[in-house]
Amino acid sequence: MKKVQKSAAQALDGLLFDGMKIAAGGFGLCGIPELLIAAIRDAGTKNLTVASNNAGVDGFGLGILLGTRQIKKMVSSYVGENAEFMRQYLSGELELEFNPQGTLAERMRAGGAGIPGFYTRTGVGTVIAEGKEHKEFDGQTYILERSFVADLSIVKAWKADPSGNLVFRKAARNFNPPAATCGKVCVAEVEEIVPLGSLDPDHIHLPGIYVHRIVQGKHEKRIEQRTTRKRAA
């Protein structure tokens, strides 16, 4: 299988349809699959359910798809930096399924591992537990969480080889690997494609068996919260 594609649009060709579920990698503004998000915007695919740690910011990341009203529902753990997200949610235009961050990561990981659900203590006694099955183990109450399986995973990696083996850089490794594994199809955008055999097997974070298509491109390096201090006199 030839995995390397010439563009993000080509990498998504034949994979998009209205009403689909997408798992998107990224942690804050780190490791966001921005080229693939832009290609989804250009394709006009709508009524999307998107699972992601965050919803991007206004005009960047998933904020682009919120701005074009292509997302119907977000499954997220943190949405605090996006004014348009807040506006759409409060006005009833956008559905939101809040998940504790660890629960969301495990829902994705479980989906990729073929595990339909799992019990966790996180959220017991809160609105997160409403409507979910409760069960006791060793005197402690747990709630049942269902795994998340997406029609498509979009992720961003630092390096890849032509077989799709991926290496992530620093915080980009947080949500990209579980997001990649829970999709029926995974498309990865990368900063660099290196020759086959040049990656140390011990340094590969995600085996190429999970990755179906790859595209290389240039990426914007944004700072989510710029913090500086005054220069000493």
pLDDT tens-place string over residues 85-142 = 889 999 999 999 999 999 999 999 999 999 999 999 999 999 999 999 999 999 999 9
Structure tokens at 23: 């798992």
Range with the poorest average pLDDT among 1-5, 39-43, 57-61, 133-137: 57-61
Q: Which domain holds residue 27?
A: 4-116+146-216
The count of domains in the chain is 1
Over 70: is that where the pLDDT of 233 sits? no
The pLDDT confidence band at residue 8, using thresholds 50, 70 and 90, is very high
Rg (C-alpha) for the chain, rounded Å, is 18
Q: Number of helices (H) and strands (E), helices first, in the chain?
A: 6, 12
What one-character DSSP code corresponds to residue 201? G
Question: Does 100 map to a domain?
Answer: yes
Question: Does 209 map to a domain?
Answer: yes
Residue 30, pLDDT score:
87
201's CB contacts (< 8 A; 6+ apart) are none
d(Cα 65, Cα 173) in Å, to the nearest integer?
Answer: 23
What's 195's domain CATH number?
A: 3.40.1080.10
Contact criterion met (CB below 8 Å) for 32 and 7: no
Question: Does 44 map to a domain?
Answer: yes
Contact criterion met (CB below 8 Å) for 50 and 22: yes
Structure tokens at 57: 């910011």
| Residues making up the chain, counted from first to last | 233
Give the count of beta carbons closer than 10 Å to the beta carbon of residue 22: 27
Residue 219, pLDDT score:
82
Q: What type of residue sits at position 125?
A: G
d(Cα 98, Cα 224) in Å, to the nearest integer?
Answer: 21
Question: Does 134 map to a domain?
Answer: no
d(Cα 74, Cα 94) in Å, to the nearest integer?
Answer: 8
